[in-house]
Chain A
Amino acid sequence: MNELNNLYKNWIKDEVSSPDVEAAKEAFLKQKFPPAPVPASGPFWGAPSFRFALVGCMALLLVLKINPIDHATVSDPAQITTAVLVSENPTPDPAADASEQPQTQIKKLGSQMGPTVAYQKNFSDVQITVVWVFPKGA
């Protein structure tokens, strides 16, 4: 009986391992279970953590495009002050206006003899305006 069983096992083994059966088995597997397509960019690009980071970066770029950072405002406070000063609607400050108003305003300045210059200097007690001519040939 044992001999008969061994004979049967050997026959089955030989049948299954025959080249024809192996070829048919491979063809069947290829037909019914095709190999999963490998991502073109490799397994790293498909990682969930990378996808999360990619979505985050895209969202950040979108936000920056909508609200670009003004580098001058951030890095240079002096420019902020300038911007406020040239504002079209500055906050009125009567006290500041009164103190900053020049005591002398030049409405007209000219000469037939040479170039002219005007300048003002504030002293502790008074503001002085100077008008000066540089006569040609002098």
Chain B
Amino acid sequence: MLKKLTASICLLALLLIPSMTQAQNSNRMIVTMVVASNNGSDFNMDNDAYRDKLTQLFSYSSYVQSDLKKLDMALGETQNLALLEGYNLSLTLKEDTGSSIVARAVITKDNKNYIDTELSIAKPGIFFMGGPTLSTGDLILILENGY
């Protein structure tokens, strides 16, 4: 009985250690894609807490969430995310001090940089990227780190 219990604990430890190590070395970045326009007054967001923030930060009448992605970023790693209508987001985790990260975020389309920025973000922290035009409005990305 004791041997079985010990073996179970060791097996559980072996399973948990890699995931714990990965959690310590990675940062989860949540990317929410929003299409903002002045067509109508729809507000369709999973997180309703963004309603006030969006209306205070921008002057659109309609905000529609089109997608939400969760990216586990390792230090030095670059992840690419396909956005709407040919836009792409390239995210690189450049530094991780524990209390903040330095990330580079680039929105591209047709090999042209629409936004190329590097930010130091506290954990948890939020920043918005936007401006690229879509057929139905303007693209806004909400990037959340450490949530």
**Which A residues lie at the B interface, using CB under 8 A?**
103-114, 116, 118, 121, 123, 126, 128-135, 138
Contacts and interface: CB of A to CB of B under 8 A. Distances in A.
Interface stretch (B5-13, B14-22, B68-76, B107-115): B107-115
A104 B120 contact: yes
B119 interface: yes
Contacts of B132: 113, 133, 135
B104 to A, nearest CB: 8
B130 A123 contact: no
Given A110-B116, A111-B116, A132-B131, 14 more contacts: A104-B119, A108-B118, A109-B116, A112-B113, A112-B116, A113-B114, A113-B132, A128-B53, A129-B119, A131-B117, A131-B119, A131-B127, A133-B115, A134-B131
Interface residues of B, number: 27
B128 interface: yes
Given A129-B128, A131-B128, A108 B57 contact: no
Interface of B: 52-53, 56-57, 102, 104, 107, 112-122, 125-133
B116 A108 contact: yes
Interface SS majority for chain A: strand
User: Looking at A108, A109, A112, A133, which has the most chain B CB atoms within 10 Å of its CB?
Assistant: A133
A123 B122 contact: no
B47 to A, nearest CB: 12
B119 A106 contact: yes
Contact of A107 (B115, B120, B131): B120
**At the interface, is chain B mostly helix, strand, loop or mixed?**
strand
Nearest to B94: A107
B118 A107 contact: yes
B120 A131 contact: no
Contacts of B102: 107
Contacts of A126: 125-126
B128 A133 contact: no
Q: Which of B57, B129, B130, B131 has the most CB of A within 10 A?
A: B131
B127 A111 contact: no
Nearest to A115: B131
